[in-house]
């Protein structure tokens, strides 16, 4: 019998922190993030109602139907109508949630990146990140694994002999202009890594042997952390970089500055 108040108290305790939002998402920085949060809240309402109702019902039957030593329990083998009703209601509810979320998933994965999206190559390796921009010529230069030299600042293996390589910019952190579509082409050199930006509400595994594209737009200037989110070895917890969202002018200036340093 003591179990009922314990279950209720734990339920209230668990639910409290969802209401209080003590530990929560950072604010989203694009439309996708806003839609994501709406879908999360819809699901939270459905799940919250099921969770609280089920736990309270459990506590209720524990109190109400404890053995009082009088008479016998009800003799019933169930109720098919209730069973059907319950089954279809749950199925409908669960499936509608998936359907409602489809648009968000489609926006990330089914829609192509807009043609004017800025392409950036991402290279993940144990345990650091590199980003490559095509530079003023708009062309990525030829790369070769044999030319890779991390200590000389050439993680991609850029081929100096290719003229298109001359103006490629390589950076250890991601810089993007605000409000412009961005296309990341992601590659891993060794094991599986994962690109995750909380504020974008987006993550994607980076798998060796596959070039995986993702596209997004960031509408809020700021610096956001990128923690590796797929186990990649002993330095996994240190494999961190940042994504800096800059004004269009600052982004252009940064590119100029990087080119000047070459």
141-170 residues in contact with another protein (CB under 8 A) are 145-146, 148, 150
- Measured CA to CA, the distance from residue 131 to residue 169 in angstroms comes to 8
196 is an interface residue for another protein by CB under 8 A: yes
Tokens 């490629």, residue? 168
54 is an interface residue for another protein by CB under 8 A: yes
- As beta bridge partners, residue 121 has 132, 185
Q: Out of 83, 138, 153, 161, which residue is the one contacting another protein (CB under 8 A)?
A: 83
Which residues in the 210-239 window bind another protein by CB under 8 A? Answer: 210, 212, 225, 227-238
30 is an interface residue for another protein by CB under 8 A: no
23 is an interface residue for another protein by CB under 8 A: yes
> How far apart are CB 110 and another protein at their closest, in Å?
7
Q: Out of 139, 142, 185, 198, which residue is the one contacting another protein (CB under 8 A)?
A: 198
Backbone region of residue 14 per phi and psi (left: phi > 0; alpha: psi in -120 to 50; beta: other values)? alpha
Site size with another protein, rule: CB under 8 A: 98
CB atoms within 10 A of CB 3: 12
- As beta bridge partners, residue 64 has none
Q: Are 107 and 35 within 8 A, CB to CB?
A: yes
Phi, psi of 226, deg, nearest 5: -120, 95
137 is an interface residue for another protein by CB under 8 A: no
172 is an interface residue for another protein by CB under 8 A: no
Q: Out of 12, 27, 86, 160, which residue is the one contacting another protein (CB under 8 A)?
A: 86
- Measured CA to CA, the distance from residue 21 to residue 52 in angstroms comes to 17
Q: Out of 31, 87, 247, 257, which residue is the one contacting another protein (CB under 8 A)?
A: 87
Q: Are 45 and 36 within 8 A, CB to CB?
A: no
Site map (CB under 8 A) of another protein, residues 102-121, x = contact: x-xx--xxx-----------
98: its two tokens = 């998936």
Residues in CB range of 8: below 8 A, 6 or more apart? 55, 56, 59
Give the residue with the Cβ less far from another protein, 192 or 258.
192
> How far apart are CB 98 and another protein at their closest, in Å?
5
CA 142-179-244 angle, to 5 degrees, is 65
12 is an interface residue for another protein by CB under 8 A: no
Q: Out of 5, 25, 172, 247, which residue is the one contacting another protein (CB under 8 A)?
A: 25
132 is an interface residue for another protein by CB under 8 A: no
SS3 170: strand
């Amino acid at each position: 019998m003591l179990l009922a108040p314990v279950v209720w108290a734990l339920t209230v305790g668990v639910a409290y922190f969802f209401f209080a939002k003590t530990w929560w998402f950072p604010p989203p920085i694009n439309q996708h993030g806003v839609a994501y949060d709406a879908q999360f809240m819809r699901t939270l309402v459905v799940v919250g109602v099921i969770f609280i109702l089920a736990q309270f019902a459990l506590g209720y039957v524990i109190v109400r139907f404890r053995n009082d030593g009088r008479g016998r329990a009800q003799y019933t083998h169930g109720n098919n109508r209730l069973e059907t009703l319950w089954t279809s209601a749950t199925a409908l509810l669960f499936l509608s949630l998936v359907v409602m979320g489809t648009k968000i998933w489609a926006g990330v994965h089914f829609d192509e990146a807009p043609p004017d999206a800025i392409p950036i190559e991402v290279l993940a390796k144990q345990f650091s990140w590199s980003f490559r921009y095509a530079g003023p010529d708009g062309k990525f230069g030829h790369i070769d694994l044999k030319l890779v030299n991390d200590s000389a600042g050439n993680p991609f293996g850029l081929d100096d002999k290719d003229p298109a390589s001359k103006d490629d910019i390589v950076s250890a952190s991601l810089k993007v202009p605000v409000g412009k579509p961005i296309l990341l082409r992601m590659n891993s050199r060794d094991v599986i890594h994962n690109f995750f930006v909380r504020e974008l509400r987006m993550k994607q595994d980076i798998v060796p042997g596959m070039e995986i594209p993702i596209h997004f737009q960031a509408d809020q200037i700021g610096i956001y952390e990128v923690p590796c989110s797929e186990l990649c070895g002993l330095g996994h917890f240190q494999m961190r970089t940042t994504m800096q969202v800059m004004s269009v002018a600052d982004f252009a200036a940064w590119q100029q500055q990087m080119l000047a340093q070459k």
